[in-house]
Amino acid sequence: MKNLRLKAARAGMDMSQDDLAKICEVSRQTISSIEKGDYNPTINLCIRICKALNKTLDELFWE
């Protein structure tokens, strides 16, 4: 299932996938896979993404 909330939060902060990937120290393809719902990130990566986007885990990853 696509993670549209992550995509919206990233776009809301005017960040590209590449920008977010650099902050979270992952590849751009990994961010793309998470947004497409092709990859379930570990809790550590979820936290890094949330910190980068100033969001909570609930806001971005909880169903």
State the residues that interact with other proteins by CB under 8 A: 25-27, 29-30, 32-33, 39, 41-42, 44-45
**Quick one: tokens of 4?**
């549209």
In the complex, minimum distance from the CB of residue 30 to other proteins, in angstroms, rounded to a whole number:
4
Min dist CB 26 to other proteins, Å, is 4
Q: How far is the CB of 16 from other proteins (least distance, A)?
A: 12
Question: Closer CB to other proteins, residue 29 or residue 56?
Answer: 29
Give residues with Cβ within 8 angstroms of 48, minimum separation 6: 23, 24, 25
3-class DSSP state of 53: helix
Rounded to whole angstroms, how far apart are CA atoms 31 and 11? 13
